[in-house]
Amino acid sequence: QKEVEQNSGPLSVPEGAIASLNCTYSDRGSQSFFWYRQYSGKSPELIMFIYSNGDKEDGRFTAQLNKASQYVSLLIRDSQPSDSATYLCAVKGTGNQFYFGTGTSLTVIP
């Protein structure tokens, strides 16, 4: 069974700090990795995707992938109260199914 694990949190950081969200996955054949943000009562929306080992930066967000360790992370720099949400890690294997973690709840304290 393909598993994606995240620390459910809650994770609290002060405004302006760096929030670090982590995700591990079990399927070594996984090819692409996605971070979604989900506000309460809303649908998931894509923040970042990453395919290659290393870092990928987009504005205040940086995704990091280490396939050898089966680990993907999301860093949010200069965290804002509007970043308070649940962050879902999703992993896509060789097929077309996505496997989602249970999400990490982030609260940014003003």
Partner 1 sequence: NAGVTQTPKFRILKIGQSMTLQCTQDMNHNYMYWYRQDPGMGLKLIYYSVGAGITDKGEVPNGYNVSRSTTEDFPLRLELAAPSQTSVYFCASQGAWWGDTQYFGPGTRLTVL
- In the complex, the residues that contact partner 1 under the rule CB under 8 A are 4, 8, 31-32, 34, 42-46, 49, 51, 88, 90, 92, 96-98, 100-103
Nearest 10 degrees: Cα torsion 2, 24, 43, 54: -120
Q: How far is the CB of 34 from partner 1 (least distance, A)?
A: 6
CB of 92 to partner 1, least distance (A): 8
Find where tokens 């393909």 sit. 2
Tell me the C-alpha distance between 100 and 109, whole Å.
27
- Which of 67, 92 has the CB closer to partner 1? 92
Q: Shortest gap between Cβ of 7 and partner 1 (angstroms)?
A: 13
In the bound state with partner 1, the residue whose beta carbon lies nearer, of 80 and 102, is 102
**Residue 33 has which token pair?**
């990795």
